[in-house]
Amino acid sequence: APAKTEDFASPIPAGVYAETVLSVTHYTDRLFRFTMTRPQGFRFRSGEFAMIGLMIDGKPIFRAYSIASPAWAEELEFFSIKVPDGPLTSHLQAIKPGDQVLMRKKPTGTLVLDALTPGRRLYMFSTGTGIAPFASLIRDPETYEKYEQVILTHTTRDVAELKYGFDLVEEIKNDELLQEVVGDKLRHYATVTREDFDYQGRITDLISSGKLFTDLGVPPLDPAIDRGMICGSSAMLKDTKDLLEKAGLNEGANSKPAEFVIERAFVG
């Protein structure tokens, strides 16, 4: 595509890739997904995040975004909130295929398989766009090589906000190669907090009451078997972390693997 006038007015900053938007899907007035080209030589581990940005009034504005596509994918996928007056998302929500998006060259993050000690069952607890790093990990064969069972929980305000997660699980079921690795190891537990639905309530309440485990037909959290990853708002992270610690799981990091890891769901 021909370069736009702005491209000349705002040169790409150093240490930054400029990639092309391939697709944009709007789910609700608060949520959208987009894909873009993956730079040659850009490597990341499934579950990591990158700094994504746009040139706005001649200045690059960046925010952290979990990469929602798996490490093997040809394209990069992101799942984003639309913050009405957000310095980045108020502009990012208007992108169209062919537009240019910036990405800093170095990905990072703690929601990686390497930050956990070996276990049998992996829980991924997410709220809102916090599902994004897990969208990456549930499409990575390594997740299923390391765990006998993978339980993805996703809690949103209303049913429309769950659609990204349902589409994702459907995509996995329809992907012959991936399905061979995933088999029946993946469970998707979706709940809402502000509307009627089959499953309702905050994940923290569902853990506390034990309803999560009875619904899934699995035993309560056990540090010998269960591992956890948490991604959501600050309050959700804190409350979920407290419950995992109460069950005897310890927080780990890249440098010191343990039974669970945490990442903020980024907005702005």
Using CB under 6 A, which of 46, 93, 127, 153 touches ligand A2P? 127
Pick between residue 59 and residue 194 the one whose CB is nearest to ligand A2P. 194
Least CB distance to ligand A2P at residue 202 (A): 4
3-class DSSP state for residue 186? strand
Least CB distance to ligand A2P at residue 38 (A): 28
Contact pattern for ligand A2P over residues 56 through 75, marking x by CB under 6 A: --------------------
Residue 89 touching ligand A2P (CB under 6 A): no
Residue 156 touching ligand A2P (CB under 6 A): yes
Q: What is the dihedral of CA 247, 219, 138, 44, to 10 degrees?
A: 30
3-class DSSP state for residue 124? strand
| Ramachandran region, residue 217 (left: φ > 0; alpha: ψ -120 to 50; beta: rest) | left
DSSP state of 113: G
Q: CA separation (Å) from 29 to 80, 163, 250? A: 11, 13, 37
Using CB under 6 A, which of 10, 25, 28, 193 touches ligand A2P? 193
Where are the extended beta strands (E) located within 2-135? 16-26, 31-37, 49-56, 59-66, 75-81, 100-104, 121-127
Least CB distance to ligand A2P at residue 15 (A): 31
- Locate 42 and state its tokens: 């850009």
Cβ(191)–Cβ(200) below 8 Å: yes
Contacting range for ligand A2P; rule: CB under 6 A; set: 55-63, 182-190, 200-208, 247-255: 200-208
Residue 155 touching ligand A2P (CB under 6 A): yes
Picking from 28, 34, 251, the residue whose alpha carbon sits closest to that of residue 132 is: 34
Residue 202 touching ligand A2P (CB under 6 A): yes
Least CB distance to ligand A2P at residue 107 (A): 23
Residue 233 touching ligand A2P (CB under 6 A): yes
Pick between residue 169 and residue 231 the one whose CB is nearest to ligand A2P. 231
Residue carrying structure tokens 């798996």: 70
The C-alpha atoms of residue 95 and residue 57 are separated, in whole angstroms, by 16
What is the binding site for ligand A2P (CB under 6 A)? 127-128, 155-157, 193-194, 202-204, 232-233, 235-236, 239
